[in-house]
Amino acid sequence: MRMKTLQLDLGERSYPIHIGQGLLKDSRLLPPHIHGISSLVVSNETVAPLYLKQLQGLLAGYNNSDVILADGEQYKTLDTSNQIFTHMLEQRCDRRTTVLALGGGVVGDITGFASASYQRGVNFIQVPTTLLAMVDSSVGGKTGVNHTLGKNMIGAFHQPQCVLIDTDTLNTLDDRQLSAGMAEVIKYGLIRDTEFLDWLYNNMGGLLKRDPELLIEAIYRSCQHKAEIVAADEKEAGQRALLNLGHTFGHAIETGMGYGNWLHGEAVSVGMMMAAKLSRGMGWLSNEEVEYTETILKMAQLPTCPPKKMTVKLFMDLMSVDKKVLDGVLRLVLMKSMGEAVITEDFDHDVLLQVLIG
């Protein structure tokens, strides 16, 4: 068994991120992070048949029950959180219960929010099974659900006790989901690591063929970036916002197209292209750099153009509720140069308009 471990440094809220093959077979990893006698696994109807038994095998020493949610972004709602609360109350879960999120970003976000809110907060552990959740959503403590008027608008900062990434679970992930996760991997290259970007350019073929060593390397480097940024700015007072490159446009696409139709990573891929083009319009990126960005995204089988349905008006309406809006002023994450993201309200609105028109 190969395992690499990172530590997310947040004082008394610090926790390890274990990355490796076969971790769901290792009974030593979870117990140090479960303090009571009760555990609860939240998963969805796609992931549970594949990995629930394996995870429950690791929880044999604890009272355990499970909640299986419907699969899809369209179920990331307050109502679904309430389904978890109801189960927890019926099972008499108390404040020392540890909740485990087994699945992708949707399961992790909603389970994290339910854990943050149940009896004002219980412990939880992330066991991500999609590339996107492994490299992004399971790390850093952002939890939440969607509102019909905006994505991730209801939530909490609630750090897990541990993140357990078994890369073997990627073997059952479909190609479209793998590509969607790759969007967030590429993001780290674009915002702060051009060397990693070149590495991705050189290794995308092997990554999409699921070479285990390459995947572990990509996930490790992604989590390292995420952990560094979150440790420096847990509540997003500053640089953490840079992790949202492409997300203001992307969230608008996800909400505008109906939750669940576009995968988050797909929408972010388009959003990053839009941010790159806007950055070019500001004179910050060259044509070649924008094309290089597009090439890598396309190598990862990702879309790079917004869908026709996304009119300028729909984009503007949906972007006006973005969490980076402050006192009514829209701020965007752009690229000052390759590998250097900035958050700024000083962009040319005509150039933005050009980008939105497409």
Give residues in contact with a copy of itself (CB under 8 A). Answer: 36-38, 78, 81-82, 85-86, 89-90, 92, 94-96, 116-121, 142, 144, 147, 149-150, 153-157, 235, 320-321, 323, 325-328
Q: Regarding beta strands 63-69 and 3-8, do their DSSP bridges make them parallel or antiparallel, or are they unpaired?
A: unpaired
Nearer CB in complex with a copy of itself: 92/308:
92
Nearer CB in complex with a copy of itself: 86/172:
86
Nearer CB in complex with a copy of itself: 142/187:
142
The SS3 call for residue 41 is: strand
Q: How far is the CB of 144 from a copy of itself (least distance, A)?
A: 7
Longest dimension (CA), the chain: 61
Given 44, 146, 158, 236, the catalytic residue: 236
Active-site residue 2, yes or no? no
Given 44, 123, 146, 244, the catalytic residue: 244
Q: How far is the CB of 175 from a copy of itself (least distance, A)?
A: 32
Q: How far is the CB of 75 from a copy of itself (least distance, A)?
A: 16
Q: What DSSP character marks residue 72?
A: S
Nearer CB in complex with a copy of itself: 282/316:
316
Q: How far is the CB of 154 from a copy of itself (least distance, A)?
A: 5
Record the tokens describing residue 72, joined without a space: 């899809």
Nearer CB in complex with a copy of itself: 198/345:
345
Nearer CB in complex with a copy of itself: 82/171:
82
Q: In what order do the strands lie in the sheet containing 63-69?
A: 3-8, 15-20, 163-166, 123-128, 98-103, 38-44, 63-69
The SS3 call for residue 141 is: coil
Give the residues across from 19 on adjacent strands: 4, 165
Active-site residue 240, yes or no? yes
Active-site residue 120, yes or no? yes
- Rg (alpha carbons) of the chain, rounded to whole number: 20
Q: What DSSP character marks residue 259?
A: B
Active-site residue 323, yes or no? no
Q: What are phi and psi of 149, to 5 degrees?
A: -95, 0
Q: How far is the CB of 82 from a copy of itself (least distance, A)?
A: 6
Active-site residue 18, yes or no? no
Q: What DSSP character marks residue 149?
A: T
Active-site residue 184, yes or no? yes
Active-site residue 142, yes or no? yes
Mark out the alpha helices in 131-263 (DSSP H runs).
131-132, 175-192, 194-208, 212-232, 247-256
Q: How far is the CB of 256 from a copy of itself (least distance, A)?
A: 14
Give the residues across from 16 on adjacent strands: 7
Q: What are phi and psi of 236, to 5 degrees?
A: 60, 50
Given 73, 184, 266, 289, the catalytic residue: 184
Kindly list the catalytic residues: 120, 142, 184, 226, 236, 240, 244, 247, 251, 264
